[in-house]
Amino acid sequence: MTAALSLFTRRTALGVSIGAITVIARGRAPLAAGSTERADLEAVFAENGVAGTFVLYDVATDHFTLINATRAEKRFVPASTFKIANTIIALETGVVKDENEIIPYGGQPQPFKTWEKDMSMREAIALSAVPIYQELARRIGLERYREWLPRLDFGNRQTGTIVDTFWLDGPLEISALEEARFVARLAQQKLDASIRSQSIARDIIRLESRDGKILYGKTGWRFSSAPNLGWWTGWVEQNGKISAFSLNIDMPAATDAPKRVAVGKTMLSKLGVL
């Protein structure tokens, strides 16, 4: 059995098995069960001048829709999408009281001026402020991360030896498929963590609400690679229905950063979710 097939056929943390196979506009055997490949939507990446993948996971049917399925199974560093898990770990370990406690940024120059101030996790999530979460990471420590990454079943679960960069430069890596499953469990509050911590993490990544649909999401940006890597991961909730998603793209230029959300919203729209 291939690694790709094994990824889908094993029992997951949601406690469900995988269903039927569907392939659209793809002239080869499907990579895995429980998935639909949409080669026609790869044009969205081409139209925006980027290479990438998009995964949509319908929780109710346990079904994936994949755009660029091969890349969807490839692991990359999570960058700031790890702030979702990091929020939960920080709360569970008690290194921060709540989402509104002010955390020092350290006083050092940062890539963005908006990062150069003390702030809460709620504000740090909105600004994707790395130094705030690095301070939390130093409080948490590697030993507790090595307990919590397996508990949350997050990617390859690797921390390496540097506590405040392992999600930015590696060795922690996760695939778009795994990210979609992770946030789907958070959306249902089915992670191995307290309901309080999961509720706070959900609340601070809530982005917008319209037409009965609530959008949750978090971007990520890996600077230490060429090209840079961009992420957007989250879910859409409507009348109890959860559609989790994860996108990653190559970003040759900083001007590509807005394409993470723009391409993601286009995909969600074309798939009838947003």
User: What's this model's pTM, rounded to 2 decimal places?
Assistant: 0.88
Structural domains in the chain (count): 1
Residue 18 lies inside a defined structural domain of this protein: no
- Give the catalytic positions in this structure: 80
Residue 49 lies inside a defined structural domain of this protein: no
Q: Residues near 220 by Cβ (< 8 Å), separated by ≥ 6?
A: 78, 79, 80, 81, 82, 128, 229, 230, 231, 232, 233, 248
Residue 226 lies inside a defined structural domain of this protein: yes
Interhelix angle 130-140/142-152, rounded to 10 degrees, is 100
Residue 90 lies inside a defined structural domain of this protein: yes
Alpha-carbon distance of 211 to 156, in angstroms, equals 37
Residue 15 lies inside a defined structural domain of this protein: no
What does the pLDDT look like over 80-125, one tens digit per residue?
A: 999 999 999 999 999 999 999 999 999 999 999 999 999 999 999 9
The beta strand positions in 52-205, using DSSP E, are 52-58, 63-67, 75-76, 174-175
User: Is the pLDDT reported for residue 68 higher than 60?
Assistant: yes
Residue 9 lies inside a defined structural domain of this protein: no
What does the pLDDT look like over 8-60, one tens digit per residue?
A: 333 333 333 333 333 333 333 334 459 999 999 999 999 999 999 999 999 99
User: Is the pLDDT reported for residue 247 higher than 50?
Assistant: yes
Alpha-carbon distance of 194 to 209, in angstroms, equals 25
What does the pLDDT look like over 259-270, one tens digit per residue?
A: 999 999 999 999
Parent domain of 61: 55-240+259-270
Specify the CATH number for the domain of residue 88.
Answer: 3.40.710.10
